[in-house]
Structure 1
Amino acid sequence: MSRVRPGTRHYKVVCSSCGTRYEDDGLVLDCSRRHEPAFLRTEYDGIGAHAGAHTGESTGLFRHAPMLPVARTFPDVPGPVVHRAERLGRRIGLDRLWVAFNGYWPESGAHLPTCTFKDLEAYTVLGRLPAAPPVLVIPSAGNTAAAFAWAATRHRVPCLLVVPAPALERMRFPAPLDPCVRLVVLDGTATYSDAIACADLLAALPGHHAEGGSRNVGRRDGLGTVLLAAADALGRLPQTYVQAVGSGTGAIGAHEAARRVRADGEPLPRLLMCQNAPFAPLHDAWHSAGPAPAHREHEPLARELTNRRPPFTVRGGVRDVLTESGGDVLCTDNEAALAALALFEEIEGIDIEPGAGVALAALAEAVRAGQVRRDELVLLNITGGGRARQAQDIALVPAEPWLRVAWPGREEGPRFVAEQVERLLTGAGAIAVGEGR
């Protein structure tokens, strides 16, 4: 039985800058006091050194409900699957490589419904919401939108999702989406960053609320269950944690989870965040190489990693967790990532997502360069996989957009999209680009 009772809150949210503590209402994203930008973080009742971190459930996301900021849980939500990858480790020069697989791989017990670890954050964010939530507004490059769309469909939670057109290839589900899930698609040259800019305006509409991205403690703690599952499997924390990142939210979540459960004197895992050249804003910021040119946002293989506004300098954000963990940001190119995709499927027998290929390629390069020792205990987060396998096993239905917008350009695009959405919500109907302007 879950230790989380519906409607109760077994945690507080605390400002990383000033320490102000809040009772969570399921929606708060920021500290109300004036100071530097800072993440809120969670403090759980009776948690520490691996104790009290589980329910009686043997598997699944909500096995870790005592360490998730939720007022309710959902049944039958899968979690990560962690296994030792000896053959893969030997191929890249590691003796103690473990993989946290997040995706669809029935033979290994992996059943995440939309094939990435974004399912973990979606269910946690929905479980955090108050009983009568506003419409959550969520921008995405594809994977996050898919996860929220399916979780919200299953549990009838209103969401407005904003994605660039290439993301539609990720929006395929076992059944049609519920009408409470509205999908806005930006056609043309729009990018993930443009979807974020649109969502900022749409969240201000009456009855709507920003989901919050990395500022949402539900996202970070949901993704942090990858680290909790690994600690269960290993009996300790890994020495090094490797993950591909766009915003860095998952790696921050892993770091925060490690801080909560480490034993006295146990070192925190070194974070190795991985990005995909030629557009690698976090790598460039960490290595002081200056901002990545925005026009290169279309070029990486792993489009899900293209976030132009990652939380680098915010208190509790990427820079802080890299510094505290002694970590680094690695970067690899499309060619190496493609080779890593093929290598993983050859050895492990399952397809993986481009972002996961970036992480494997960057790790292999770091081993060759001596940045990772052969005997290090390494956890590689395969953030998505099994999409091709799922398509073989399950008949999937393409999502129908609620609104498709011909993107007029970055300068006027967000306001134009907001006007289109407002017209549809009020029954006025959409307009064409340039009409009545």
Structure 2
Amino acid sequence: MSAQAFVQNSTVPTPPERHYDLVCPACGHTMADDGLTLRCPEDHAPALLRTRYRDQEPAVSPESDGLYRYRRWLPVVRTLPGAGGTVVYRSEGLGRALGLGDLWIAFNGYWPERGADLRTGTFKELEAYAVFGRLPERPPVLVVPSVGNTAAAFASVFSRTDVECLLVVPGSGLHRFATVPGIAPTVRLVSITGGDYDDAIELAERVSALPGFRAVGGAWNVARRDGLATVLLSAVEAMGALPEVYVQAVGSAVGAIAVHEAATRLIASGRYGPATPRLLMCQNEGVAPVHRLWHGCPEARRPVGKEERRAATGRVYADELVNQHPPYSLTGGIEEALRTSGGDVLPCPGEDARAATELFARTEGIDIEPAAAVAVACLGRSVREGRVSSGTRVLLNITGGGRARLSAGMRDDRAARPVLRLDPSTLESPGTLQRIRELFPAADVSA
């Protein structure tokens, strides 16, 4: 199917009602969506819900901005003007340097010369736009734990709405807010000084249990996955075909799962196939939970103490890839996607990632984020080791880039100022929950 044919499928506007159902892949239970549902109500082992769209043809809405171009395959009932999206192009410089003749780059970030306009510099904005579009008319306060990138994306997107949102990040992630143009009063940022991502997750879970608050849901939220799935939809529209290999650095691997789901949906439409792209997931060497689980390392499931966890996280090149509890063995999770696609997981030493950062800047002309550099390095290793042949059609997801471009000329004092700074030792205190609750006096406790 050609890229032009993809475009020609796209004349029907999104209906005002929800144009999809939620389906449980474990038991087949089907339900209407309320914009907040995260899990199947039936009693069985955990499974990630999936969307089933009434329009089963790949379609675009050319009049819509950014990722909303694919709104027929997004669980959204509203859109925001000016939304960004993925820019896909065939690489010459990097492809030549790596020895790949058919390398395509999915660039997610800020690169105006290429038309890339994700203003916080990463593909996490795709999640935020999709989550907003899925919400009911009067949602509870959304609670978002993050290393920093996801929170910055939600701060940027949700500051343009009247939806209340709580962002919980470790203090080390505050620098990622430097390119956020301003945070609205409806969005509250809480930082954990000296804490890490797991601390943010644990606090967010406790806050989400309060009346009037709701967890955004990580991989459990179909909007987050389908928002990230637009990376593949953009690529297929540009390439006219599915890639044979898909490469991405992963923490929770929500993006890789999303791409696998989108590929399955495209194949089911009868226009592509027969095989889904082989997933090549990439992680830091030293702190690589997905790699260890996939390769059956004995210590992979060993509980890790907080001090050990924090020390290890401080040594890695890309701290956004350190999720210690990825959605691995559940139905629809990482293991299933890897097995179904014939994929693999590779670790990347920090020195290789640093070299990849310089290589990308030299060959493609733009700065990239640490996680993206890990993916570039692992792709190069895969070519050298014969895992990926020179003629393979490869899609490389640059999950973040252009932040240096965004930051140029900005004041040094632009980093976000949290409304509340917490010490890790206070996170389990009832008083901490009360202080957070008081940040949202208008929250509907009946929600």
Category of TM-score, reference length = shorter chain:
over 0.9
Matched position secondary structure for 2:408: helix
Deviations 1:350-382 (A, max 9, x none): 100000000000110011011111110000000
Q: Quickly say closer, same or farther: Cα 1:73–1:80, change in 2 above 3 A.
A: same
1:42-53 map, 5 Å = 42-48=51-57, 50=58, 53=59
What is the aligned counterpart of 1:270 among 274, 278, 281?
278
- 3-state SS of paired residue (2:159): helix
Determine the structure 1 residue equivalent to 2:3: none
Question: Where does residue 395 of structure 2 map in the other structure?
Answer: 379
Counterpart residue number, 2:295: 287
Residue equivalent to 2:386: 370
Question: Residue 6 of structure 2 corresponds to which residue in structure 1?
Answer: none
Task: Indicate the residue corresponding to 2:405 in structure 1.
Answer: 389
**Aligned-partner SS, 2:389:** coil
Is 1:309 aligned to 2:325, yes or no?
yes
Q: Which residue of 2 aligns with 1:434?
A: none
Amino acid at match of 2:414: V
Indicate how the Cα distance of structure 1 residues 427 and 371 shifts in structure 2: closer, same or farther if over 3 A, else same. closer
Aligned counterpart for 1:247 among listed residues 246, 252, 263:
252
Give the total of aligned pairs.
Answer: 419
How far the C-alpha of 1:391 sits from its partner, in A, is: 1.1
Offset at residue 419 of structure 1 (A): 2.9
CA–CA separation in structure 1 for the residues paired with 2:380 and 2:331: 31
One-letter identity of the residue aligned with 2:26: S
The range that moved more, 168-177 or 393-402, is: 393-402
Q: 1:240, 1:309 → 2: CA distance? A: 25
Q: What SS class does the counterpart of residue 168 from structure 2 fall into?
A: strand
AA aligned opposite 1:346: R
Computed over aligned residues only, the root mean square deviation of the Cα atoms, in angstroms, reads 1.9
SS at match of 1:415: coil
1:414 and 2:427 aligned? yes
* 5+ long unaligned stretches in structure 1: 429-437
Residue 136 of structure 2 is aligned to residue 130 of structure 1? yes
Question: How big is each residue's C-alpha offset from its partner over 1:234-277, in whole Å with a ceiling of 9 and x where there is no partner?
Answer: 00100000000000000000111111112354211000010011
Are residues 424 and 288 of structure 1, via their aligned partners in 2, closer, same or farther at CA, if it must alter by over 3 Å?
closer
Q: What is residue 144 of structure 1 aligned with on the other side?
A: 150
Measured in 1, the distance between the counterparts of 2:13 and 2:385 equals 46
Is 2:418 the counterpart of 1:401? yes
| Rounded Cα–Cα distance in structure 2 between residues aligned with 1:249 and 1:202 | 23
CA 1:334–1:93: 2 relative to 1, 3 Å: same
* Deviation, structure 1 residue 74: 1.3
Once the two structures are superposed, what CA deviation does each residue of 1:40-67 show, in whole Å capped at 9, x if it has no partner? 000101213x3xx211337611000000
1:5: Cα distance to partner?
3.8
Could you state the TM-score of these two structures normalised by the residue count of structure 1?
0.92
Contact conserved, 1:2 with 1:65, CA < 8 A, in 2? Answer: no
Corresponding residue for 1:214? 219
Matched, 1:16 2:19: no
The one-letter code sitting in structure 2 at the alignment partner of 1:329 is V
Match of 1:229 in 2: 234
Q: Supply the distance in 2 between the matched residues of 1:398 and 1:99 (Cα, whole angstroms).
A: 30
Cα distance in 1 for partners of 2:335, 2:439 equals 45
Task: Give the equivalent residue in structure 1 for 2:5.
Answer: none
CA distance in 1, matches of 2:343, 2:415: 40
- Report the Cα offset of residue 406 of structure 1: 1.8
Q: 1:65 to 1:427 in 2, by over 3 A?
A: closer
- The answer as to whether partners of 1:11 and 1:42 remain within 8 angstroms in 2 is yes
Q: Which residue of 2 aligns with 1:431?
A: none
Do the aligned partners of 2:178 and 2:407 also contact (CA within 8 Å) in 1? Answer: no
Question: What code does the residue aligned with 2:416 have?
Answer: A
Identity over the aligned pairs, expressed in percent? 50
Match in the other structure for 1:69: 75
Greater mean alpha carbon deviation, residues 388-397 or residues 105-114: 388-397
Distance 1:191 1:333 in 2: 21
Residue identity in the other structure for 1:20: H
Structure 1, residues 74-119: CA drift from partner, whole Å, max 9, x if none? Answer: 1110110001112211111211111000000011110101110000
Q: Does 1:4 align with 2:21?
A: no
CA distance in structure 2 between the partners assigned to 1:57 and 1:270 by the alignment: 32
Give, as a single letter, the amino acid of the residue that structure 2 aligns with 1:21. T
Secondary structure of 1:366 counterpart: helix
Is the Cα–Cα contact under 8 Å of residues 109 and 123 in structure 2 kept in the other structure? yes
Structure 1: how far apart are the matches of 2:119 and 2:349? 29
Deviation at 1:402, TM superposition (A): 1.2
Residues 61, 79 of structure 1: 8 Å contact kept: yes
**Secondary structure in 1 matching 2:391:** coil
Task: Please give the alpha-carbon distance, in whole angstroms, between the structure 2 residues aligned to 1:172 and 1:332.
Answer: 27
Give the Cα separation in 2 of the matches to 1:136 and 1:247: 19
Range with greater deviation from structure 2 (345-354 or 257-266): 257-266
Q: Deviations for 1:143-193, whole angstroms, at most 9, x for unmatched residues? A: 0000001101011221111100011000124533111101110002x1111
CA–CA separation in structure 2 for the residues paired with 1:405 and 1:31:
34
Q: Is the 8 A contact 1:54 1:66 kept in 2?
A: yes
Is it true that 1:425 corresponds to 2:425 in the alignment?
no
C-alpha distance in 2 between matches for 1:306 and 1:109: 30
Q: Which region of structure 1 is more displaced relative to structure 2, 334-343 or 261-270?
A: 261-270
1:39 aligns with 2:48: yes
Determine the C-alpha separation between the residues in 2 that align with 1:213 and 1:2: 31
Kept in 2, the 8 Å contact 1:173–1:399? The answer is no
**Consecutive unaligned residues in structure 2, runs of 5 or more:** 1-10, 441-447
**Once the 2 structures are TM-superposed, how far is the Cα of residue 4 of structure 1 from its aligned partner?**
2.3
User: Does the C-alpha gap of structure 1 residues 424 and 358 become closer, same or farther in structure 2, counting only changes over 3 Å?
Assistant: closer
SS in 2 for 1:356: helix
Deviations 1:6-48 (A, max 9, x none): 4x20000100100100100000000001111100000101213
Q: Conserved in 2, the CA contact under 8 Å of 1:165 and 1:187? A: yes
